[in-house]
A = this chain, B = another copy of it.
């Protein structure tokens, strides 16, 4: 799935509600979901891990939507390798 498509889907599904809750609430939800992902990584099944990875991506997309951030543009930072050393594999010390 394209990042732009992810942002579109999350906007259509949750955009109105998430915007009503506002940015600080979205940051809080994202932090909560990251905690759930950390737990699933530590002791969950692969299905539970997939579930939590998806939830984190969904909340990142919702937050980006509210901040008018284009994730496709943002991730260009990594498109040519490490943003610091410009190498792939990264050659930073």
Q: What residues of chain A have their CB less than 8 Å away from a CB belonging to chain B? A: 1-3, 6, 9-10, 12-17, 23, 27, 30-31, 34, 37-38, 41, 46, 49-51, 53-54, 56-58, 60, 63-64, 67-79, 81-83, 87-90
How many copies of the shown chain assemble into the complex? 2
A50 and B77 within 8 A (CB): yes
Residue among A27, A38, A57 with the most chain B CB within 10 A? Answer: A57
Of B31, B41, B81, which one neighbours A63 at CB under 8 angstroms?
A: B41
A74 x B90 contact (CB < 8 A)? no
Known: A27-B41, A34-B34, A79-B9. Contact between A74 and B88, CB under 8 A? Answer: no
Specify which chain B residues have a CB less than 8 angstroms from the CB of A64 in the assembled complex: 53
